[in-house]
Structure 1
Amino acid sequence: MSPSSQQICFVGDSFVAGVGDETALGWTGRLVARQAAAGRPATAYNLGIRGNTSAQILGRIGAEIEQRRSPLRSTRVVLSMGVNDTTYVDDKPRLSPDDSCANLERILEMISGDPLLVVGPLAVSDDAQNARIAQLSADFHALCSARGIPYVEVFSDLERHPVWRQQVLEDDGAHPRSQGYQALYELVAPRWDRWMPLSPVGGEQLA
């Protein structure tokens, strides 16, 4: 089989990295496997870093993507962030909502030349933090919609999903295990299918 013409950079935090998943797939690995099973394999780079805020992601996303570009493949980007922004340190969130939104706006401008899919921040076990995450997700959604960027709002469904809630509570209060990531994958997959091109098996090589 010839190399795929698509490459995907998954950029974000520990949820992108799949922390807690004993199968080491996370939701991103499941999406890549879905592509391969459909006969449309893609080269995938998981660029999730545990603890990263939107400011830290802004500081590295441009270089991360540029280092992985290839003349043989077109690049697509999946971005997910925000939970760490809302985490309290010294009685205040690590980043203000205004700063988080400004960081997202700068990221959208920075990678405007690549197809982008944004997956919203996820639910955790703490109710007060979840209230902050819910508002940030709504703000992120509005910013993406204004620019015509596809956005997958997952917070509401995950907050009330029994498997996600149970596994997050049983672990560290933030990260689920494999079944929780499966639930997240199932929320993202329908929008993913509309976002990814239906290229032939193997794809064309790009000059």
Structure 2
Amino acid sequence: MPVLPKQLVVIGDSSVYGWGDTVGGGWCERLRKDWSKFHDFPIIYPLGVRGDGIEKVSLRWEKEWSSRGETRRNKPKAILLNVGLNDTPTIGQKNGRHQLEINGFEYGLERLIFEMKSQTQVFVIGLTPVDENKMPFAGCLWYSNDFCHSYERRMEEVCINQNVPFLPTFREMYSDNRSKNWIAEDGIHLNTHGHLWIYQRLKSWDILNKWKES
């Protein structure tokens, strides 16, 4: 009887969906295609929804994750979580209230990861830079790199406290002089070059590779 490959559910927002990458379909799709070349590598299920934040992912993750085990008694062996950017902006003005205030974001992430971890292996990816000159997004949302940095730091702290592998992406991308060329015209999504950067970073992430090959 053939051995069923493991499944990796990648859940999050438009970054997981691949919005902005008109060539490769996004970093997740690039990774899925790369892994699909090998019959014994895990199957990747991309589950990105544009606009999702912590609260919406918390509502849908368990049903979506549990239904992708491919057989009745099997459940996917891991989740790769990429969410948070849509929780960072202020609404209406630069000094307005946040879509989700940072302490509420941290609390929501703690609960979400705790719930996921009780069911399966969890990996978490950080946030990505924005182009502040293009704000406000959609005429009302003010994203900023200071907010992205602060929220990613909270993400890292939560992951450290729960012993969950975390891949920080914001600091590394933002410190690269080329990063402004990796952001789409709308100011918040990655373009093809940005998605390629994330894909290459994930492809070389040792802890994910060890899980993949275990």
Bucket of the pairwise TM-score, normalised by the shorter protein: 0.7 to 0.9
Contact 1:5 1:73 in 2 (8 A): no
SS of 2:36's equivalent in the other structure is helix
Q: Which residue of 1 aligns with 2:130?
A: 124
Aligned pairs for 1:80-159 within 5 A: 80-90=82-92, 91-112=96-117, 113-126=119-132, 129-159=144-174
Give the Å deviation of 1:64.
1.5
Q: Which has the higher contact order (CA 8 A, sep 6+)?
A: 1
Question: Who is 1:58 aligned against?
Answer: 58
Contact 1:4 1:43 in 2 (8 A): no
User: Residues 58-93 of structure 1: CA distance to partner in whole angstroms, max 9, x if unpaired?
Assistant: 111122112223335643100011111011213221
Query: Cα distance, 1:6 vs. partner?
Result: 1.0
Report the aligned-residue RMSD: 2.2
Is the CA contact 2:8–2:44 (under 8 Å) kept in the aligned structure 1?
yes
Secondary structure, aligned partner of 2:77: strand
TM-aligned CA deviation for residue 49 of structure 1: 0.7
Cα distance change on mapping 1:37 and 1:163 into 2, 3 Å = farther
Where in structure 1 are there 5+ consecutive unaligned residues?
Answer: 200-207
1:162 is displaced (CA, Å) by: 4.3
- One-letter code aligned to 2:132: D
**Most deviating of 13-22 and 156-165:** 156-165
Q: CA deviation at 1:171?
A: 1.4
Matched with 1:204 is none
TM-score, length basis structure 2: 0.82
**Structure 2: runs of 5+ lacking an equivalent:** 134-142
Paired letter, 1:36: S
Does the C-alpha gap of structure 1 residues 103 and 14 become closer, same or farther in structure 2, counting only changes over 3 Å? same
How many percent identity over aligned positions? 21
TM-score by length of 1: 0.85
Matched to 1:34, the amino acid is: D
Is the Cα contact below 8 Å between 2:68 and 2:76 reproduced in 1?
no
In the other structure, the counterpart of 2:194 is 180
Residue deviations 1:150-206 (CA, integer Å, cap 9, x gap): 0000001111334442141x511011222211111122222254342315xxxxxxx
Q: How many residues align?
A: 197
8 Å CA contact 2:36–2:43 kept in 1: the answer is no
- 2:46 aligns with 46
Q: CA deviation at 1:104?
A: 0.8
The answer (yes or no) to whether the contact 2:41–2:212 under 8 Å persists in 1 is no
